[in-house]
Amino acid sequence: MGKKIGIYGGTFDPPHLGHMRAARETAARLKLDEILLVPARLPPHKQLPEDAGTPEQRLEMIGYIADALSLDLPCRVLDLELKRQGPSYTVDTLRELRRAHPDDELWLLMGTDMFLSFQDWREPEQIAELAHLCAFGRHDADKGAILSRQRERLQALYPHAEIRALTLRSLVDVSSTDLRHRLREGEGGGGLWPPVYGYILRNRLYGTAADMKRLELPELRAVSQSMIKAKRIAHVLGTEEEAVRLAKRWGAEELPARRAAILHDCTKYYTAAEQLQLCEKYGIVLDTLERELVKLQHALTAAALAEHVFGEPPEVCRAIRWHTTGRADMSLLEKIIYMADYIEPNRDFDGVEGLRELAYRDLDAAILAGLEMTVEEMNERGLPVHGKTLEAVAFLRGV
């Protein structure tokens, strides 16, 4: 049996939480096996605003949405409309997709506005033959009635079409036009998936002009999340949450703990080439083991970005610098970030409960236990242990 594939097109300029939730809930309701997001090149039905993102930027932004959605079900971005010359018509896209998926069930997903003008699209009858149609609107009596009236109308026009009209509870009332306006006014990224907001800030899209060295917490979170994969976001948020708890328990300042936690893994997904490029740019000297193990490099490069790009103070940068290996005689903030990274709520390994309990009773003992677990694990896997980790162990043991 073929797969059920949802096809969701739009200008996505920028893509927002409304798009994301619509895709997620529609997929659940239709029991889709896969979602394809299709950013449009030149929408035939509307003029692009002057400050529109470039096709490449829209492609990158929608990529964040696809990354997040694919935690639940396969989701891909298709750039076939962006690559096509001239205006892009849905019917052409569907013909291509039909060829690529001869045995699959295609569902064209669309919001209320698109659905209401469906009969005016290019070759609507063809579209309805190539794919089933699914319109979605907000969950209120008004929208429900409008959608079902249009559904009946289209069903009469195209008797063989399969047409669904859903009202979605999770749909939020945002529009890309409003969002662009609010971004230009510096009103923040509510309504945007944070990594998309972070991407917009980093690239100064839509008239934003954030100073990277003076980001408030929501913006710092967004920018950091725009640098990592969706699956790591929960870990970074968890590390921040744990760092704040530990800071309160051990009398450290909350804000530096938050900022260090937010940035600690921001270069985790940089490629080996990108890591080396940053090392060169910021004069980072790697030791033999660090050169060999790319995994160790992100602590150094994230610390460098924290200093040079985000303007963080030395104590914050050092906490990021030492979060992976630890070192002898760590500062309180360094200990907090090391530990928070180790025991944050999403961590799930044998002994994590005991380590959590210990961290709030005797921080040094917990750090030592954590370091020893790391050494043991590396030994078991036949991997070398970093000298700084061994020094930290020796220091805490008092030898």
Count of residues for the chain? 399
Give the H/E segment covering residue 284: none
**Which among 117-125, 139-147, 335-343, 365-373 is the span making contact with Fe ion, rule CB under 5 A?**
335-343
**Which among 99-107, 176-184, 258-266, 310-318 is the span making contact with Fe ion, rule CB under 5 A?**
258-266
Segments in 193-253 forming alpha helices (H): 194-202, 217-225, 230-250
Which is nearer to Fe ion, 81 or 242 (by Cβ)? 242
Which is nearer to Fe ion, 184 or 347 (by Cβ)? 347
**Which among 96-104, 197-205, 263-271, 355-363 is the span making contact with Fe ion, rule CB under 5 A?**
263-271
Question: Cα(122)–Cα(115) distance, rounded to whole angstroms?
Answer: 13
Closest to 389 (Cα-Cα) out of 289, 294, 273, 252: 289
**Which among 44-52, 241-249, 334-342, 372-380 is the span making contact with Fe ion, rule CB under 5 A?**
334-342
Among 13, 219, 265, 307, binds Fe ion (CB under 5 A): 265
Residue 341 contacts Fe ion per CB under 5 A? yes
Closest to 60 (Cα-Cα) out of 12, 7, 118: 12
Nearby residues of 190 by Cβ (< 8 Å), 6 or more positions away: 182
Provide, rounded to whole angstroms, the least separation between the CB of residue 342 and Fe ion.
Answer: 9
**Which among 45-53, 96-104, 160-168, 336-344 is the span making contact with Fe ion, rule CB under 5 A?**
336-344
Give the H/E segment covering residue 251: none
Residue 312 contacts Fe ion per CB under 5 A? no
Which is nearer to Fe ion, 81 or 265 (by Cβ)? 265
Provide, rounded to whole angstroms, the least separation between the CB of residue 344 and Fe ion.
Answer: 8
Which is nearer to Fe ion, 147 or 319 (by Cβ)? 319
Which is nearer to Fe ion, 307 or 341 (by Cβ)? 341
Segments in 51-111 forming alpha helices (H): 55-69, 80-83, 90-100
Size of the site for Fe ion (CB under 5 A): 2
Which is nearer to Fe ion, 66 or 237 (by Cβ)? 237
Indicate the DSSP class of residue 145.
H
Residue 219 contacts Fe ion per CB under 5 A? no
Residue 13 contacts Fe ion per CB under 5 A? no
Provide, rounded to whole angstroms, the least separation between the CB of residue 229 and Fe ion.
Answer: 13
**Which among 63-71, 177-185, 257-265, 358-366 is the span making contact with Fe ion, rule CB under 5 A?**
257-265
- Residue 308's Cβ-count burial label (10 Å; 0-12, 13-18, 19+) is middle
Which is nearer to Fe ion, 242 or 265 (by Cβ)? 265
Nearby residues of 139 by Cβ (< 8 Å), 6 or more positions away: 167, 168, 169, 171
Which is nearer to Fe ion, 24 or 264 (by Cβ)? 264
Residue 240 contacts Fe ion per CB under 5 A? no
* Token pair recorded at residue 157: 């026009």
Provide, rounded to whole angstroms, the least separation between the CB of residue 265 and Fe ion.
Answer: 4
Question: Cα(9)–Cα(2) distance, rounded to whole angstroms?
Answer: 22
Residue 307 contacts Fe ion per CB under 5 A? no
Q: Is 249 helix (H, G, I), strand (E, B) or coil?
A: helix
**Which among 72-80, 288-296, 308-316, 340-348 is the span making contact with Fe ion, rule CB under 5 A?**
340-348
Provide, rounded to whole angstroms, the least separation between the CB of residue 338 and Fe ion.
Answer: 10
Residue 344 contacts Fe ion per CB under 5 A? no
Give the H/E segment covering residue 227: none
Closest to 208 (Cα-Cα) out of 184, 176, 180, 178: 184
* Token pair recorded at residue 275: 């890591």
What is the DSSP secondary-structure string of 260-295?
A: HHHHTTTTTT--HHHHHHHHHHTTPPP-HHHHH-HH
Provide, rounded to whole angstroms, the least separation between the CB of residue 341 and Fe ion.
Answer: 4
Q: Which long-range contacts (CB under 8 A, 24 or more apart) does 182-186 make?
A: 183/207, 183/208, 184/51, 184/208
- Summarize as ranges the residues that interact with Fe ion (CB under 5 A): 265, 341
